[in-house]
Amino acid sequence: MQHRSCMSRARCLASCAFAFSIHKQPPPPPTTHHHVFHHHHFSSLLLPSLLPPVSSFLCFHVLWCKDMSHPFKDSDSVSMMLAQDLFFSFFLSDFDATESRKGTLSVGVGRRGIETGDLEKRDDLFPQILRDEAVARLYELGKVSDGKNYLERTFLSPASMRAISLIRRWMEDAGLRTWVDQMGNVHGRVDGANANAEALLIGSHMDTVVDAGMFDGSLGIVSAISALKAMHVNGKLEKLKRPVEVIAFSDEEGVRFQTTFLGSGAIAGILPATTLEISDKRDVMIKDFLKENSIDMTEESLLKLKYDPKSVWGYVEVHIEQGPVLEQVGFPLGVVKGIAGQTRLKVTVRGSQGHAGTVPMSMRQDPMAAAAEQIVVLESLCKHPEEYLSYDAHCSDSTVKSLSSSLVCTVGEISTWPSASNVTYTVDIRAIDDLGREAVIYDLSKQIYQICDKRSVSCIIEHKHDAGAVICDSDLSSQLKSATYSALKKMEGDIQDEVPTLMSGAGHDAMAISHLTKVGMLFVRCRGGISHSPQEHVLDNDVWAAGLATLSFLENLS
């Protein structure tokens, strides 16, 4: 059988009708049980080959249980939650840095850091600013919520407005001049010794998913502000070689309007005017919602938010890893070499419903059976692309090799609404190789249609979201690695292992800003690799390490 080349597949895909309604469903609010697999957790398990098989299974099992069981309301559920906490205590006991909230800094497998008390005597490490105050601010920001008993802070919500005020106050405390733009992004800037030089942008997002953890996004904002405050206290802020601007982006998660990167996308100039016409579940359009907040957003004013690429030197983002790799290798920090490209599909299978006892098996048109077969095909293709992917000379061995190490596929939601004759499911496909990702989509689509034909059911495949992979700038990554090494050496005293580099399977504001300037990212270890959850946790000393690495990076800006 002949197969089209990867380039042909790309052309084939480009000719499809794309439905560009970005699909990023939030977890349900903590008042109902909702048995849904969410892509956020599974896509973070980027390098399972680094994990022992048993640990990999156990980590997967606990994440699965969390998604299926949370939130807990009855006594049995509380028991389950306690059991999970006990499990985490046992599972993470091998890692030195997870033994207490502050912990000891563990750098390298099997190594144990010097005690916290010794570090606190070092004035050059700024423990009061980079750890104590930073952690206190993270907890304070974590209480700014639209939900009563859970964290929810969405685009320009009342809680978001309170967060804006809080973040501006922290920025001003660090010696920065501040403002808020028309998309709700908070800016804090210092000109340094050369106000006319290209500026370094540094930041992350202040919005959250529903029932969130308090470190996702917020850690990057607080780390940047804390590092600049340390320079301010030390009299070095005005000596920076170029302007530095901290940005707290207003909407990365896309919870309310189901469109990601509203904040960073506006700065990068990648939001089309049609974005303003996108509606939420109550049919309120973005432009009308902005008007409710006294912001008259037009196409012209949207264009004015875009930064001039000639005015920007680069962008750096500190973010929790949202995966288990750094914890496994025993490092608090790691440098990101790239962010995987992502495609989200919505597959609808339509068959016929009939009486369970009277329709012969040979005459049934069961869409659920067809969908189940398709999902198994997806799993096989993504687990072993080298075995199941059809490719020719245009889709090289190197492409397939790249897929084998970075390809992640997840079925996020399955629905039989409005009846058993309709099955709809979502597919999330991520890989660092865009050409390979397109090849996977082509092969998967072909096999989905073949299964539908074989089972006499119909299929519709909608492309809901496509984002290309982003490769982090090599010079920025090198500087971040040096800054990380310097910071950890100050805290640890001796480092025998290299600072880890790893891929990101999750999307970040850096993806949007990459359209404006070069980007670099620093990951921070998080317990169990868990994110988008109240169980999300970063050790105090890892917050400290992130702030110290950011400080070292800023002090050595070229």
pLDDT in tens, 375-406: 999 999 999 998 888 765 456 777 787 888 78
Residue 1 vs residues 311, 391, 435, 512, 530: alpha-carbon distances, Å:
53, 11, 21, 40, 44
- Residue 458 and residue 367: Cα distance in Å, rounded? 8
> Minimal CA–CA distance to 312: which of 229, 244, 362, 215?
244
Residue 490: exposure state from Cβ atoms within 10 A (0-12, 13-18, ≥19): middle
Residue 289 vs residues 54, 146, 147, 255, 284: alpha-carbon distances, Å:
49, 17, 20, 14, 7
82-113 pLDDT, tens digit each: 343 333 333 333 333 333 456 555 565 334 34
What are the boundaries of each domain within the chain? Answer: 6-23+341-467, 116-268+307-339+470-555, 270-304
May I ask the CATH class of domain 6-23+341-467? alpha beta
- Residue 446 and residue 429: Cα distance in Å, rounded? 15
Is the per-residue pLDDT at 38 higher than 50? no
Is the per-residue pLDDT at 555 higher than 60? yes
Band of the pLDDT at 68, cuts 50, 70, 90? Answer: very low
pLDDT of residue 121: 59
Contact criterion met (CB below 8 Å) for 381 and 389: yes
What residue has token string 């480092």?
Answer: 495
pLDDT of residue 100: 42
- Residue 393 and residue 399: Cα distance in Å, rounded? 11
Mean pLDDT of 130-155: 97
Dig out the tokens for 497 from the structure. 């292992």
Torsion angles phi and psi, residue 105, rounded to 5: -75, 115
Asked if residue 272 has a cis previous peptide bond (ω within 30° of 0), the answer is no
pLDDT of residue 115: 54
DSSP character at residue 139: H
Residue 132 vs residues 117, 125, 127, 512, 541: alpha-carbon distances, Å:
13, 12, 6, 32, 9
Mean pLDDT of 171-182: 98
> Minimal CA–CA distance to 526: which of 512, 497, 506?
506
487-530 pLDDT, tens digit each: 999 998 777 789 999 999 999 999 999 999 999 999 999 999 99
Is the per-residue pLDDT at 26 higher than 50? no
- Residue 134 and residue 118: Cα distance in Å, rounded? 19
Report the CATH superfamily, name and number, of domain 116-268+307-339+470-555.
Zn peptidases (3.40.630.10)
Band of the pLDDT at 221, cuts 50, 70, 90? Answer: very high
- Residue 3 and residue 212: Cα distance in Å, rounded? 44
Dig out the tokens for 319 from the structure. 């973010």
Mean pLDDT of 193-222: 98
All residues at 6 or more sequence positions from 56 whose CB lies less than 8 Å from its CB, including other chains: 45, 48
pTM of the full predicted structure?
0.75
pLDDT of residue 40: 37
Is the per-residue pLDDT at 41 higher than 90? no
Q: At what angle do helices 158-173 and 134-142 cross, to 10 degrees?
A: 160
Band of the pLDDT at 37, cuts 50, 70, 90? Answer: very low
pLDDT of residue 355: 80
Residue 262 vs residues 137, 212, 299, 307, 519: alpha-carbon distances, Å:
25, 19, 14, 14, 18
Is the per-residue pLDDT at 309 higher than 60? yes
What residue has token string 């206190």?
Answer: 136
Q: Do β-strands 199-205 and 312-320 pair in parallel, antiparallel, or remain unpaired?
A: parallel
The alpha-carbon radius of gyration of the chain (Å, integer) is 24
DSSP string, 88-108: HHHHGGGSGGGSSSS-----S
What is the distance, to the nearest Å, from the Cα of residue 150 to the centroid of all Cα atoms in its chain?
20
What residue has token string 């985490």?
Answer: 88
pLDDT of residue 364: 86
430-462 pLDDT, tens digit each: 999 898 999 999 999 999 999 999 999 999 999
pLDDT of residue 116: 58
330-389 pLDDT, tens digit each: 999 999 999 999 999 999 999 988 888 888 888 888 999 999 999 999 999 999 998 888
Q: Torsion angle, CA of 256/257/261/262, rounded to 10 degrees?
A: -100
Q: Which of 117-126, 290-299, 466-475 is predicted with the least confidence, judged by mean pLDDT?
A: 117-126
pLDDT of residue 76: 40
First to last CA, the chain: 56
Band of the pLDDT at 314, cuts 50, 70, 90? Answer: very high
- Residue 152 and residue 253: Cα distance in Å, rounded? 11
Q: Which of 130-139, 208-217, 293-302 is predicted with the least confidence, judged by mean pLDDT?
A: 293-302
pLDDT of residue 411: 95
Burial 95-119 (b: 16+ CB within 10 A, else e): bbbbbeebbbbbbbeebebeebeeb
Please provide the average confidence, as pLDDT, over all residues in the chain: 82
Mean pLDDT of 313-324: 98
Residue 469 vs residues 149, 188, 318: alpha-carbon distances, Å:
37, 29, 18
Q: Which of 27-41, 257-271, 468-482 is predicted with the least confidence, judged by mean pLDDT?
A: 27-41
Q: Which of 21-30, 229-238, 414-423, 512-521 is predicted with the least confidence, judged by mean pLDDT?
A: 21-30
> Which secondary-structure segment (H or E) carries 513?
helix 509-513
Could you give the percent of the chain with pLDDT greater than 90?
A: 65
DSSP string, 428-454: EEEES-HHHHHHHHHHHHHHHHHHHHH
Amino acid identity of residue 404, one-letter, is: S
What ranges in 293-410 are assigned the alpha helix state H?
299-304, 325-329, 367-383, 385-388, 397-406
- Residue 491 and residue 118: Cα distance in Å, rounded? 9
- Residue 113 and residue 547: Cα distance in Å, rounded? 17
418-436 pLDDT, tens digit each: 877 899 999 999 999 898 9
> Minimal CA–CA distance to 501: which of 476, 518, 538?
476
Contact criterion met (CB below 8 Å) for 188 and 240: no
- Residue 444 and residue 280: Cα distance in Å, rounded? 31
